[in-house]
Chain A
């Protein structure tokens, strides 16, 4: 609760939270706000925005409602972004903790694997993975996570190595605490916060990667995404630029919102530490 108040006290946090709260509400209530399949042909093709009250943001080449696409696209973007980031963080934490605690050969092996994944650009990895396995939402989530878990893994390991050298860990050993209890109670809780602080960047990157995959036609063809809408609008970019501009704006607002919220959270948490 105190963190929440501090978060709202930072301008980044307040703006970011407001943006994301709106988006989350839209995503959550998409079926209510815009009932029916957003991919169905709803009216005349290429209706200009603000000209027909039935289609406030116009229609695309096939006569699909742009606003409905945006609303349902928010669902895909947020869901895929969050799921991919959660998967990447979970993978990174597991690998980083194993490497940091075990040390020795396992550490070497795991970290060479992390190196391998870090050298290949995440987007190429996702691209290759989806091309091979085929586009569907779970595959896209996994593909994005594969390209994003290396950073949290490396940070987790570094944190474990640094925290385990602190005096309070030595004090716990001197007190005769069991090594498992030391790992779970003394080290782990102090390893997590900086790694979780990465999550905003990972979510933002995951949303962008999802959009890029969809833009290249590698998203799930059965759901609307902002990326596929931008790609669709590109064909008529000269005559009807709004088809690409509206989903583009939605994408930018989402990523900026996530980023601001992350900044705000970091400041709120570090503020708490400094004030204590």
Chain B
């Protein structure tokens, strides 16, 4: 059974002369699978992520998620179903209300979806922090008082709080140092093994996708121009866009 099937997604922005951000995108994702979404800047990766998470509406196309017509949902039913599809953003600071504390950021989803009874929220926050490798004492801190890597761990904790089936990660590690990046990728892979979460992992960096993705889809100008198993796409890219991405990965050459 597939978890997510998108077909023929199109999205045009009217700004300026008009930009076709998505031009007939189709993709599918199985439970527990990671689909890496690669592509140059402006190829429409973020737009696709936003359309799938219902932050933006496509002009045409269909999305089935967890057996339901995802685009037909609205209002309260959509808000309830959102527990099953979460998102992690690139801007580790911008993704949190400047006034939030670590505890309030994690309590919001627990409260909205009534994941645990009110009295157990604090304990659940501690458990979530522990799960992403942060001390429970962080709960009292302001979001501004933790480092970028720790903040992304909190964003991941917030995303898994509602037991989602799919997490869309838009350049989730691009803003982080290489050492921090590896730890976060490890955490994501472990969480996936434990909980069977599927990831749509957006990144312009193939070396990141190589570490986490089962399959890779390459986007160019609003279309998916190539899809295949990670090792095949990296070893033998077929499209010019994929070849350019492979070339862009720096390699250590020791002479």
Contact = CB atoms under 8 A, between A and B. Distances in A.
Nearest to B112: A176
A176 B94 contact: no
26 contacts: A167-B89, A168-B97, A170-B50, A171-B87, A171-B89, A171-B95, A171-B96, A171-B158, A174-B55, A175-B82, A175-B86, A175-B108, A175-B158, A175-B162, A176-B82, A176-B113, A176-B162, A177-B79, A177-B108, A177-B112, A178-B79, A186-B97, A190-B98, A276-B142, A276-B144, A276-B145
Given A170-B89, A171-B89, A276-B144, A176 B83 contact: yes
Interface residues on chain B, size class: 20 to 34
B57 interface: no
A175 B108 CA distance: 8
A173 interface: yes
B96 A168 contact: yes
Interface residues on chain A, size class: 10 to 19
A interface SS class: helix
Contact of A174 (B86, B96, B100, B145): B86
A176 B109 CA distance: 8
B79 A168 contact: no
Interface in B136-155: 142, 144-145, 155
Contacts of A168: 94-98, 100
A176 B108 CA distance: 9
A104 interface: no
Contact of A190 (B86, B99, B109, B162): B99
Given A172-B108, A175-B109, A176-B113, A167 B83 contact: no
B80 A167 contact: no
B7 to A, nearest CB: 22
B53 interface: yes
